[in-house]
Amino acid sequence: MAAIETEVTPVLTITASAAEKIKALLAEEEDVNVLRVAIQGGGCSGFQYGLGFDRGATEGDLTFEQHGVTVVVDPYSAPYLSGASVDYVDSIQQSGFAIENPNAVASCGCGHSFQVAEGDAPEDAAGACGSGCSH
């Protein structure tokens, strides 16, 4: 049975630079064709970002396309990623994907984990002091 997916207004923005890098990375992989963006409990600030490739959407996922890249976001992650932007930075100081998130009230120095306003975090989210900043 095929997964039910919901085509929606984009939850987040993928920049043209990020899309080009994502398409190049997807071309090197087999059996994957979408970018999955998620948040997970953990990291040194409470939540951490997850970017990865997947074969497609699963039931309940929000699906949208930007710059030729199909993006899926699970319904749990969507409120925390609303209005965020995924960029790809390649400079002398850093290289990699960077996420700007207006929902983050604090983030750690590594930029891979963040914290939301008090009361916005679900009860089952992991606490701070994780190992997310060992990048």
- Other C-beta atoms lying within 10 Å of the C-beta of residue 13: 15
Nearest CA to 104 among 128, 126, 87, 81?
81
Number of domains forming the structure of the chain: 1
Q: Within a domain: residue 134? A: no
pLDDT tens-digit map of 104-113: 776 655 455 4
Per DSSP, the three-state class of 65 is strand
How far apart are alpha carbons 44 and 130 in whole angstroms?
5
Tens of pLDDT along 40-69?
887 666 788 899 999 999 999 999 999 999
What is residue 21's three-state secondary structure? Answer: helix
Domain presence at residue 67: yes
Structural domain that includes position 56: 6-115
| 105: its two tokens | 């009230």
Q: Are strands 47-54 and 106-107 parallel, antiparallel or unpaired?
A: unpaired
The CA-to-CA distance between both ends of the chain, in Å, stands at: 39
- In this prediction, residue 6 has a pLDDT band, given cuts at 50, 70 and 90, of low
In a domain, 54, yes or no: yes
